[in-house]
Amino acid sequence: MEMNIALLPGDGIGPEVMEEAVRVTRVVARRYGHKVEFAGGLVGAAAIDKTGNPYPDETHRLCMNADAVLFGAIGHPRYDSNPRAEVRPEQGLLAMRKKLGLFANLRPVFTFASLMDQSPLKNHLLKQVDFLVVRELIGGIYFGQPSGRSEDGGTAFDTCLYTREEIERIVDLAFGFAMERKHRLTLVDKANVLATSRLWREVTMEVSKRYPGVDTDYLFVDNAAMQIILNPSRFDVLVTENMFGDILTDEASVIAGSLGLLPSASIGLHTSVFEPIHGSYPQAAGKNIANPLAMILSVAMMFEYGFQMKDEAGLIRAAVEASVNERVGTPDIARGKTCSTRDVGEWIAGYIDNA
Ligand code: IPM
Ligand code: MG
């Protein structure tokens, strides 16, 4: 099969981890006889510097024409200290999600047996943790209008808005994943306070009737935040709105022991995008110390969800797991000797080549 992949490395450590993603994609494609073409585009602060726009039209065209998009990271400290900056790198990410119609963000949370000591949680809580957060990505308070400031600047407002259709399409997708997994689905909302949450609950109850084989439950987001730490192995598929999903997935990432381990896939109406859940980690940029595993595992998700190639995805995951077991790790997960970003990528590529 021929694969056209757009590469948007973005800011900070994005370019370094992307290099390893490309290395791994190339060897997997070679092993399985796929032809792969890459084309690079600008996004984030890197794009603002060159074009003034964090998601230039040219980048959008590139993504629309690609079979899949690999995305590094976005963000730069120069904007974080300036709340009044007119253009921000993050707007590029939000514009990309919206324009590509990426309504579902899949964030799997899992642990590596040999890294359990890295997690701040006690070992016995971590066994059998394997859940999938399905986060709505192009609605809710992130995009609702009106949003802004009053004329005198003394009042600010955001709008949280969801339609029945927006909720139904993602909840239905989440039930589909639950059917392929452990047949449990949890809706996370704040239905005791928010009108949007009550609509989410109503729609989820309706959709659940089409999936009698799935055990469905409902949790308020504050309680869910607690349960994720107290009893993470109870979850299978969690489905939730945009901002709750943003917050809960950062929280859930500590279970794995490092933010540098978790991948994500954003799927929807046009091309799908695969990106690590970590940010641009500017302190590490250019130092060859960033953990490439989240990016490499995002490549595995690309093979699985972007190209329906489960064997290829499985081999990448096996290689990553082997690297962790062999203690080939960047400083965030190293036990003993530390490896560079490139060392880890090369080790994994070598494993795949020889598998
Ligand atoms: C994420 C990030 C983004 C979000 C930011 C960078 C806009 O935190 O992908 O989780 O809030 O969605
Ligand atoms: Mg986030």
Domains of the chain by residue range: 1-101+260-355, 120-149+159-256
222 carries an active-site annotation: yes
- Exposed e or buried b per residue across 149-168, where buried means at least 16 C-beta atoms within 10 angstroms of its C-beta: eeeeeeeeeeebebeeebbe
Is the pTM higher than 0.75? The answer reads: yes
Element (H, E) at 337: none
Residue 315: what pLDDT? 98
Ligand 2 centroid distance, CA of 250 (Å): 6
Residue 335: what pLDDT? 84
Structure tokens at 61: 């065209």
Measured CA to CA, the distance from residue 112 to residue 341 in angstroms comes to 19
Structural contact between residues 43 and 12, judged by C-beta atoms closer than 8 angstroms: no
Q: Does residue 97 register a pLDDT over 90?
A: yes
What is the three-class DSSP state of 41? coil
Q: Positive or negative CA dihedral for 298, 301, 307, 309?
A: positive
Q: Does residue 294 register a pLDDT over 90?
A: yes
Residue 134: what pLDDT? 98
Structural contact between residues 98 and 138, judged by C-beta atoms closer than 8 angstroms: yes
Residue 183 CB partners (closer than 8 Å, separation 6+): 213, 214, 215, 236
236 carries an active-site annotation: no
190 carries an active-site annotation: yes
CB atoms within 10 A of CB 274: 27
From the CB of 90, is ligand 1 less than 6 Å away? yes
| Equal CATH topology for 1-101+260-355 and 120-149+159-256 | yes
The domain made up of 120-149+159-256 has a fold known as Isopropylmalate Dehydrogenase (3.40.718)
Measured CA to CA, the distance from residue 270 to residue 66 in angstroms comes to 10
Among protein residues, the one with the nearest Cα to ligand 1's atom 8 is: 246
pLDDT in tens, 186-228: 999 999 999 999 999 999 999 999 999 999 999 999 999 999 9
Ligand 1 centroid distance, CA of 243 (Å): 9
Residue 117: what pLDDT? 86
Residue 68: what pLDDT? 98
From the CB of 93, is ligand 1 less than 6 Å away? yes
Measured CA to CA, the distance from residue 94 to residue 266 in angstroms comes to 12
User: What are 266's strand-pairing partners?
Assistant: 105, 273
pLDDT in tens, 155-198: 999 999 999 999 999 999 999 999 999 999 999 999 999 999 99
Residue 256: what pLDDT? 87
CB atoms within 10 A of CB 259: 17
Structural contact between residues 210 and 240, judged by C-beta atoms closer than 8 angstroms: no
| Percent over 90 (pLDDT), the chain | 90
Residues in the chain: 355
User: What are 7's strand-pairing partners?
Assistant: 40, 70
23-37, 61-75, 173-187, 244-258: least confident range = 244-258
Which ligand is closest in space to the CA of residue 74? Answer: 1
| Percent over 70 (pLDDT), the chain | 100
57 carries an active-site annotation: no
Predicted confidence band at 336 (pLDDT cuts at 50, 70, 90)? confident
The backbone region for 80, taken as left when phi is positive above 0, alpha when psi lies in -120 to 50, beta otherwise, is alpha
Pick the CATH number of 1-101+260-355 from 2.70.170.10, 3.30.930.10, 1.25.40.20, 3.40.718.10: 3.40.718.10
